[in-house]
Amino acid sequence: MTMDKEPRLRASSQAIQKLKNRLRAIFRRGRGRNIGQLIEKELNPVIRGWGNYFSLTRVKKIPEELDFWIRRKIRCILWRQMKRVGTRGTRLVKRGLQEARAWISATNGRGPWWNAGASHMNEAYPLSYFNKLGLVNLTTKLAIS
């Protein structure tokens, strides 16, 4: 329950942590696999089940943060799958980044988690990319009013 004038239901921090731990295990198994298959076969059933279980919640912040975290973890896997600087540069250019920006981003020397949250990866792999892959969006799944 929230501490508002009119209390609303929300998921507990333990439930969120349990979901994140379960998703981390799936992400570890998915590093060398096709992202589309990972999303379709392993991620979506877990996310959909969690969303259905907590469908009575009326708090916007938690599903939005979880959606952002899940997409960032997938971008992190994508960055790791590219492995080499040349591959990163060419794929970022193919995904629509300007060539100079793509090569600066590919050679920045920062880690996968930092790059997954950086603007160049958000521009190259926007929300529409994940929608095309069929990733379940918790924000729309819970339909919070």
Tens-place pLDDT, residues 50-64: 888 888 777 778 889
Residue type present at position 135: L
The pLDDT mean for the chain works out to: 89
Q: How far apart are CA 28 and CA 32, in angstroms?
A: 9
- 8 inside domain: no
| 143 band by pLDDT with thresholds 50, 70 and 90 | low
- 121 inside domain: yes
| pLDDT at residue 145 greater than cutoff 50 | no
- 4 inside domain: no
Kindly report which listed range (33-37, 50-54, 102-106, 126-130) carries the lowest average pLDDT score. 50-54
Please give the model's pTM, rounded to 2 decimal places.
0.88
Residue 8: other Cβ atoms inside 10 A: 14
Q: Which of 129, 3, 121 is nearest to 59 (CA)?
A: 3
| pLDDT at residue 3 greater than cutoff 70 | no
Q: How far apart are CA 93 and CA 105, in angstroms?
A: 11
| pLDDT at residue 2 greater than cutoff 80 | no
- 5 inside domain: no
- 130 inside domain: yes
pLDDT given at position 119:
95
pLDDT given at position 142:
62
Range of the domain at 42: 13-142
For tokens 């300007």, the residue is 98
Strands of the chain (E only): list them.
none
Looking at the 3D structure of the chain, how many domains does it have? 1
Average pLDDT over residues 118-128: 95
Average pLDDT over residues 28-42: 87
- 6 inside domain: no
- 2 inside domain: no
